[in-house]
Amino acid sequence: MIALETLSTNKAHGGVQGVYSHASAATGTPMTFSVFVPDHAPGARLPVLWYLSGLTCTHANVTEKGEYRAACAEQGIIFVAPDTSPRGDDVADDEAYDFGKGAGFYVNATQEPWAAHFQMRRYIEDELPALVAQHFPVDMARQGITGHSMGGHGALTIALRNPGRFRSVSAFAPIVSPLNCPWGEKALTGYIGPDRAAWREYDACALIDDGARLPDLLVDQGTADGFLAEQLRTELLEQAVARAGMPSTIRLQHGYDHSYYFISTFMADHVAWHGERLKG
């Protein structure tokens, strides 16, 4: 069993909100994540919802501000929130908020100096699920995934690359096409290199164009989000799912911005939407 250190536990909404740390083989660093386990019958295994965070965030932002616990307690869903990058003094970094620490973009970096630790795809797709399955009462046959902004990009691309793994996929204000926005161009050039063909597996719209499909999709996007026009570009996802004939519900929410005030407003909706698809 992979060792897990408990950093804190607090009773909340009838369950336990914990924060944990472990030595990651994928990133070669300690990694911290949070898990909310609702009250449940002894021996029961619960569906799990993965939440991937956005630029500059750690597990803590959604854990403190996400307002997911009441809904997860009601639905009986375990909620897991990983960090967004490796951390530590020996991890390469950049001065910018949108590259380096806090900005792992859920890729396996191939370029120096990033390749040594920035293996967030492997961490989120393989290592953390194995760890969570060992330590928490999860039913790995019932997984959903969601995320915000860069984490919405992570949720969409991970689900598109792993058909059948997730019964439900949603996102809050996701980056839908790193090939077509400054955040994505900067990060993928830095982590993956200049060959844009290699970026396609990290681009939700390109993955859909290349044939990947989701069973269904829920996206909420605020109309007052300052990143919408240049970085998030929800219209590209709308066009991709239309071309593919893929079922989706993409909602523009009037007056909402990019903050946790937006996320927390629609969190219960998303948890309920996942809950419907994760039952039984």
Q: Which residues bind a copy of itself (CB under 8 A)?
A: 10-14, 17, 64-65, 67, 69-70, 222, 224, 255-257, 259-262, 264-265, 268
Least separation in angstroms between residue 70's CB and a copy of itself is: 7
Active site residue 225: yes
When the beta carbons of 60 and 179 are compared against a copy of itself, the nearer one is 60
Secondary structure, 3-state, the chain: CCCCEEEEEEEECCEEEEEEEEECCCCCCEEEEEEEECCCCCCCCEEEEEEECCCCCCHHHHHHHCCCHHHHHHHCCEEEEECCCCCCCCCCCCCCCCCECCECCCCECCCCCCCCCCEHHHHHHHHHHHHHHHHCCEEEEEEEEEEECHHHHHHHHHHHHCCCCCCEEEEECCCCCHHHCHHHHHHHHHHHCCCHHHHHHHCHHHHHHCCCCCCCCEEEEECCCCCHHHHHCHHHHHHHHHHHCCCCEEEEECCCCCCHHHHHHHHHHHHHHHHHHHCC
When the beta carbons of 56 and 111 are compared against a copy of itself, the nearer one is 56
**Per the residue annotation, which of 24, 53, 85, 149 is the catalytic one?**
149
Least separation in angstroms between residue 111's CB and a copy of itself is: 36
Active site residue 93: no
Least separation in angstroms between residue 121's CB and a copy of itself is: 30
**Per the residue annotation, which of 117, 177, 225, 248 is the catalytic one?**
225
Least separation in angstroms between residue 115's CB and a copy of itself is: 36
When the beta carbons of 191 and 262 are compared against a copy of itself, the nearer one is 262
Least separation in angstroms between residue 221's CB and a copy of itself is: 13
**Per the residue annotation, which of 59, 153, 258, 270 is the catalytic one?**
258
Active site residue 258: yes
When the beta carbons of 44 and 224 are compared against a copy of itself, the nearer one is 224
When the beta carbons of 133 and 268 are compared against a copy of itself, the nearer one is 268
The residues that are catalytic are 149, 225, 258
